Amino acid sequence: MLESSQNTELVINVKEYMHSVLTDKSQDDREMEEQRYAGKLQFLLQGMHRTVTSSTKYVSYSLDYQLCNNLKFSKDTSVQDLISKWDKIFKDDILCHVAKSHRPLLARWLKWTILVHDLREVLAESTCISVTGLVNSGKSLLVKQLFNLKRVQVGTLKSKQTTVPLLYNLNIGSLDVIDFPGMDDNDECVPDLAQLMLTLSQMIVFVVDYRRISATAIKLWLDKMKSDDDVPVLICLTHADNLYLECVAKEEEYKIEAIEDKRKAIQRELQTYREVIGPKHSWNVDFYAFTQVPTVKREDLEAVGIRSPSDVGEWLVEILKNKLGQGDLSEQLQTFFTNRERSCNNQ
């Protein structure tokens, strides 16, 4: 590439260039390096037509880092400005030789690269809580109640659900919340989205209506999450106020009225659902009710072991302190929840 004469347009052969950069020149290792190169190149090329990509084997971060640190424009530079000011921006740079017909495509790739790099830099300094699950399971309600956040509709493939992750900064140290889109059985992107979530998250809150635990999308999510033992997972089996009513109705048939008997009945049901999910020592699985039917009081639900959004908060605080070793951040989050609860009680 560097042998091109001055003032001569240069068309970069991406495949040959990437091959020369990413492979070892040793003839003995050629076959192995060819395989490594193919994987890395595939990862990079996926980024040309997908907003976010992930790979279990290759991350182009080191390449991005070198490229972005040497770029002569910022993440705020528009693609159009980049194209129109190409010769000025890349003066005395090999990129000035790129043919004009190829500049729009390369400009979009450079812009994408620097934005992804900036996102990685931000996330590298952050601790991320990811919230996801099935549609209509109460996920958005949990985000609103627990973090005092309101979901913003950003973009949809289907009118009833958002399809992009939303990143919230809680202004609590370096703690962020990523609200992933709710999934259903018709979504084909579940495995890729789950892999992305595992890549970005230090804690995962998974919300699913207990009556839909056998859904295909749930199995896909759980299979992906089982592949990573390092990320703590809380599974919230929601709408458990309905389960409470069912159990109470059954108990009345047998004239069982004691609270302890009701609790045992709920726990037997919970064990059944845990078996459906499968054994996983690092996962916390419980019944939750983020709202309750008018005929059931919150204290009645709590008495039999059905949890509330505040219990999700306690789990996050405990994981930060004891699992992730971030005591200061844990205390800040606890203070946030305490102040939020006081504010809600005063309204």
pLDDT, tens digit (0-9, with 9 covering 90-100), for 287-315 = 999 887 787 888 888 888 899 999 999 99
DSSP, res 53: -
**Type of residue found at 157:** L
Compute the distance between CA of residue 176 and CA of residue 104 in angstroms, rounded to an integer: 34
DSSP, res 176: E
Tokens coding 304: 């039999």
- Of the given ranges (65-79, 133-147, 206-220, 293-307), which has the lowest mean pLDDT? 65-79
pLDDT of amino acid 175: 86
pLDDT, tens digit (0-9, with 9 covering 90-100), for 122-178 = 666 778 898 988 888 888 889 888 887 654 433 333 434 444 567 777 778 788 888
- When pLDDT is averaged across residues 179-202 and rounded to a whole number, the result is 73
C-alpha closest to that of 218 among 238, 241, 200, 201: 238
pLDDT of amino acid 322: 92
pLDDT of amino acid 168: 75
C-alpha closest to that of 273 among 323, 315, 238: 238
Q: What burial letters (b/e) apply to 84-119, b meaning 16+ CB within 10 Å?
A: eebeebbeeeebebbeeeebeebbebbbbbbebbee
Compute the distance between CA of residue 314 and CA of residue 203 in angstroms, rounded to an integer: 13
Domains of the chain: 14-123 (no CATH), 126-346 (3.40.50.300)
Asked if pLDDT for residue 317 goes beyond 80, the answer is: yes
- When pLDDT is averaged across residues 64-81 and rounded to a whole number, the result is 74
Higher-scoring residue by pLDDT: 34, 197: 197
pTM over 0.85: no
Of the pLDDT bands very low, low, confident and very high (cuts 50, 70, 90), residue 39 is low
